[in-house]
């Protein structure tokens, strides 16, 4: 099952994607894709609905983030050995954990704003995991039972702020618009094995990343179990699980980064594709008295 949210920003409606790729409106069934709607029992009820019985979506068909009400956007760094190598960093003994601010989350095809005076804005295709039920001190064996579904994430990063402005990565990870998510939340039955998904990313049609979640150092189950030891994961929380090699930081002989006018396209097997125009920062309009 492919679930989505469509419409203009901050006014999205819940939808389901039918076998022909058309969005069917779910707003008569659920208010939004958030909270308990993401629980196993609720998702089972949605899966029992014949999409053909739902009205076709009309109006603005922009894809928004596929879940609402996200309270934590947790990221895992250096989770592919070859990406750690291109970053000149050691393979970690435990997952490297940092946060992306939840207000950087946006739709998968919305423009990404390069921050004011950015020096090193970079790309990272990643497998996103959406939590469907509360997880605290769960075992690795039980971890995947807490997953509502999977999605594509571009973990957009500003390397100067991430690496050169002190020891915490968070500063370079959560600029406004740095969290494209979607287009869909794909439930586990349709996504299949989360450790067997191919992924890719191109910049201006130039292939840059081509990898597979099969080469992750820490699996999705291991990551959920690990995180749940020191935080309670809640429905709608998003975990983005690391990127394969091919980021701008790792280019040889010289790194190179995104500039206004660049177009990034990316996708993950069975989870859909994204496209972002990277645009220059503009000062916000002054507020009227």
Q: Which fold has domain 73-280?
A: Fumarylacetoacetate hydrolase; domain 2 (3.90.850)
Residue 113 in contact with residue 279, Cβ under 8 Å? yes
Residues 6+ apart with CB under 8 A from 116: 281
CA distances (Å), origin 289, targets 77, 166, 284, 285: 44, 38, 15, 12
Residues 6+ apart with CB under 8 A from 134: 146, 232, 233, 234, 235
Q: What is the Cα–Cα distance from 274 to 262, expressed in whole angstroms? A: 14
User: Tens of pLDDT along 234-289?
Assistant: 999 999 999 999 999 999 999 999 999 999 999 999 999 999 999 999 988 887 77
Residue 145 reports pLDDT greater than 80: yes
Q: Length of the chain, please? A: 289
Residue 46 in contact with residue 16, Cβ under 8 Å? yes
Q: What is the Cα–Cα distance from 237 to 168, expressed in whole angstroms? A: 21
User: Tens of pLDDT along 3-38?
Assistant: 999 999 999 999 999 999 999 999 999 999 999 999
Which one, of 165, 173, 72, lies nearest residue 115 by Cα?
173
Q: What is the Cα–Cα distance from 7 to 58, expressed in whole angstroms? A: 9
Q: Look at residue 124 in the predicted model and tell me its pLDDT.
A: 98
Residue 81 reports pLDDT greater than 90: no
Q: What is the pTM of this model?
A: 0.96
User: Tens of pLDDT along 146-165?
Assistant: 999 999 999 999 999 999 99
Q: What is the Cα–Cα distance from 179 to 157, expressed in whole angstroms? A: 9
Residue 156 in contact with residue 188, Cβ under 8 Å? no
Q: What is the Cα–Cα distance from 147 to 132, expressed in whole angstroms? A: 5
Q: What is the Cα–Cα distance from 181 to 105, expressed in whole angstroms? A: 7
Q: What is the Cα–Cα distance from 172 to 121, expressed in whole angstroms? A: 9
Pairing of strands 206-212, 2-6: unpaired
What are the extents of the domains in the chain?
2-53, 73-280
- Two tokens, residue 11: 């006014």
């Amino acid at each position: 099952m492919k679930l989505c949210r469509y419409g203009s920003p901050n006014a999205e409606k819940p939808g389901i994607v039918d076998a022909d790729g058309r969005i069917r409106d779910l707003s008569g069934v659920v208010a939004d894709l958030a909270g308990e709607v993401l629980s196993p029992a609720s998702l089972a009820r949605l899966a029992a609905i014949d999409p053909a019985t739902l009205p076709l979506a009309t109006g603005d068909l922009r894809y928004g983030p596929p879940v609402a009400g996200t309270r934590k956007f947790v990221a895992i760094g250096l989770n592919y050995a070859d990406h750690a190598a291109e970053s000149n960093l050691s393979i970690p003994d435990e997952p490297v954990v940092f946060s992306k601010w939840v207000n950087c989350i946006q739709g998968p095809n919305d423009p990404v704003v390069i921050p004011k005076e950015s020096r090193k804005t970079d790309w990272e295709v990643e497998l996103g995991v959406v939590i469907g039920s509360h997880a605290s001190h769960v075992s690795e064996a039980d971890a995947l039972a807490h997953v509502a579904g999977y999605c594509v994430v571009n973990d957009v990063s500003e390397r100067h702020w991430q690496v050169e402005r002190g020891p915490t990565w968070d500063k370079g990870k959560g600029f406004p618009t740095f969290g494209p998510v979607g287009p869909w939340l794909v439930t586990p039955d349709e996504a299949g094995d989360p450790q067997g998904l191919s992924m890719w990313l191109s910049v201006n049609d130039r292939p840059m990343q081509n990898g597979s979640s099969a080469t992750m150092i820490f699996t999705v189950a291991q990551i959920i179990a690990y995180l749940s030891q020191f935080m309670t994961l809640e429905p709608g929380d998003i975990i983005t699980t690391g990127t394969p090699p091919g980021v701008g930081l790792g280019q040889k002989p010289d790194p190179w980064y995104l500039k206004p006018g660049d177009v990034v396209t990316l996708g993950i097997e069975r989870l859909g594709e994204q496209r972002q125009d990277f645009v220059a920062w503009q000062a916000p309009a002054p507020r009227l008295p």
